[in-house]
Structure 1
Amino acid sequence: MSANTQDNQANNNDTIEIQETEVVPVETNSLQSGLTSLIPMVLIFAVFYFLLLRPQEKRRKEREKLVSEVKKGEEVLTNGGIYGIVTKVSENDNNIEIEIAKDVRIKALKSAIVDITSRTKEVAVKKENNKKDKKVSGAKSS
């Protein structure tokens, strides 16, 4: 036991010295740290605007233009799924009259128009004709 006691006393005599170091506070500019935390928020808002808000705004304007330009004699589709031909356009109260069958007419709001199908058909026919013209011109050049 005397050997154990001597080892314990030797361990007690061994001391670890801890050097004291001076802690220097790092000075950060509060404005700079505020800006760095603001940059990601601005970037997120910009992405949100360009991916969601801006396209939605464009679609809304196109729809308003479509509704305001509806004319008598055009074939339309309402948001209720009714196809018909516009027989009367009322500018002052935003109403239209749509003939859905022979001598069957309904009144609807202009805002109920989803699509002017007569215009859509014209565009589809033009695209189809362009495709046919390209195929024909491609076959002739071969």
Structure 2
Amino acid sequence: MLISPAYAQDALGGATSTVMQFAPMILIFVVFYFVLIRPQQRKAKEHRALLGALKRNDRIITAGGILGTVTRVKEGSDELEVEIAPNVRVTVLRGTVSSVVRPVAANDTVPAKS
């Protein structure tokens, strides 16, 4: 009963076991970076470029789902004037624009099914 238990140790004194304990967490972080963080950063960069390229007569969709046409871009400000119906103009913040509606060209039409 007076004999203490003996535990086996590797030649490096347990340094490799510490690294091996953190290896799964490092691997999980790397996977999260390439699967979640990096694509989200790319999408945010594209959205900032889209907002910076807004100009007059662009058809836009706001975050609230309102379709409209940009009638005036106020330089040096985050505001846009958008016409949502004939003679109905509202001022919206540039950040609320979720997308720009691109017109479909005449030669890009989808052929009818027969």
Check whether TM > 0.5: yes
How many pairs does the alignment contain? 105
Match of 1:68 among 12, 33, 52: 52
**1:1-142 pair list within 5 angstroms:** 25-28=7-10, 29-117=13-101, 119=102, 121-122=103-104, 125=105, 128=108
Q: Which runs of 5+ in 1 are unaligned?
A: 1-22, 133-142
Structure 1: how far apart are the matches of 2:67 and 2:108? 23
- The 1:59/1:99 distance shift into structure 2, 3 A limit, reads same
Larger radius of gyration: 1
Structure 1: how far apart are the matches of 2:23 and 2:107? 45
Taking CA–CA contacts closer than 8 Å with sequence separation of 6 or more, which of the two structures ends up with the larger relative contact order? 2
Q: CA deviation at 1:81?
A: 1.1
User: Normalization by structure 1: what TM-score?
Assistant: 0.66
Structure 1: how far apart are the matches of 2:107 and 2:41? 27
Poorly superposed stretches of 4+, deviation over 3 Å: 125-129
Q: CA deviation at 1:64?
A: 0.8
Q: Which runs of 5+ in 2 are unaligned?
A: none
Structure 2: how far apart are the matches of 1:63 and 1:86? 17
CA RMSD of aligned residues (A): 2.1
Structure 1: how far apart are the matches of 2:108 and 2:61? 22
User: Normalization by structure 2: what TM-score?
Assistant: 0.81
Determine which structure has the larger helix proportion and give its number.
1
- The 1:71/1:57 distance shift into structure 2, 3 A limit, reads same
> Residue deviations 1:82-137, cap 9 Å, x none?
111101001211110001111110000011111111x2x34xx48945x76xxxxx
